[in-house]
Amino acid sequence: MASSAGHRSARTAGAGTGPAGPDATGASTRGSAGSSAPGSAGGALARELAGLLSPGQVVTEGPELRVALSDGTASQGVEGSADLLALPGSTDQVAAVLGWCYSHDVPVVARGGGTGLAAGAVPHGGVVLSTERLAAVRSIEPGLWRMEAEAGVRTSTVHRVALENGLMFPPDPGAGEQSTLGGNIATNAGGPHTFKY
């Protein structure tokens, strides 16, 4: 799942619009991973978003943020930069982060399991919004062939829950153990079973 906030998707760091554009040398003026020192733009962003989320849901440095800077294209040397990683635990928190970023012109990249091969989850400044804590299967109604699940649920979990209820979930992307429903939908991932089902 990779998307910028609302219709402002063209306004990403380095795109030349507003405060996130390049300076006279062409370098982006938006902060990047590790730029969240007190007083920096990244630090101010982290403080603002920390007010919308719970403790531990805003990451500004360390291995968890570094992992969020790339996806399945990391082996090809593709890596981005971000001011922070947001880990919302509810759809209300997702809406709060997206709303704040939209109103402040801060780019957002949504991140599922990080298995994409098109660099769609690679950020270019701003916020990486992870769906990893949105991992609940809310309900299943086998008689109606219906399941309600959050964006961060692993594809393998959906397969297991469906099977336990006498159903089959046909999409089987190659990275099904790590990929998420939100990422599958965002990238139209399906795997070979989609040809039959």
The verdict on residue 141 lying in a domain is yes
Residue 120 shares a structural domain with residue 167: no
Instruction: Specify whether the CB–CB gap between 112 and 180 falls below 8 A.
Output: yes
pLDDT confidence of residue 72: 86
In a domain, 161, yes or no: yes
- Same domain flag for 64 and 159: no
**In angstroms, rounded to a whole number, what is the distance separating the alpha carbons of residues 111 and 115?**
9
**What pairs with residue 141 in β-bridges?**
146
State whether 120 and 141 are in the same domain. Answer: no
70 and 11 together in one domain: yes
Kindly state whether residues 110 and 148 are assigned to the same domain: no
End residue of a domain, out of 130, 151, 173: 130
- Domain contains 170: yes
Q: What integer pLDDT is reported at residue 40 of this predicted model?
A: 55
- Which of 111, 130, 149 marks a domain boundary? 130
Residues shown for the chain: 197
The answer to whether residues 121 and 177 belong to one domain is no
- 13 vs 124: CA distance, rounded Å: 6
Whether 165 is covered by a domain: the verdict is yes
The reply to whether 153 and 175 lie within a common domain is: yes
Whether residue 23 is found in the same domain as residue 53: yes
Interacting residues of 75 by C-beta distance below 8 A, sequence separation 6+ = none
Q: What pLDDT is stored for residue 88 in this prediction?
A: 97
Rounded to two decimals, what is the model's pTM?
A: 0.75
Please count the CA atoms within 13 angstroms of the CA of 109 that sit on its side-chain side: 24
Domain termination site, one of 104, 130, 156: 130
Distance CA 52, CA 38 (A): 19
Same domain? For 44 and 96 the reply is: yes
Q: What are the beta bridge partners of residue 85? A: 59, 128
Would you state the pLDDT for residue 25? 30
SS3 state of residue 127:
strand
Q: Determine, yes or no, domain membership for 195.
A: no
* Phi, psi (degrees; rounded to nearest 5) at 131: -100, 10
pLDDT at 33: 41
* Domain co-membership, 43 together with 102: yes
Domain that holds residue 161: 137-187
Q: What is the pLDDT along the chain (197 residues), one digit of tens a residue?
A: 444 333 333 333 333 333 333 333 332 333 344 444 444 567 888 999 999 999 899 999 999 999 999 888 888 888 889 999 999 999 999 999 999 999 999 999 999 998 888 888 899 999 999 999 999 999 999 999 999 999 999 999 999 999 999 999 998 888 878 899 999 999 888 888 878 87
Domain count, the chain: 2
> Is the dihedral angle over the CA atoms 159, 113, 151, 136 positive or is it negative?
positive
Q: What is the pLDDT of residue 52?
A: 93
* Any domain includes 119: yes
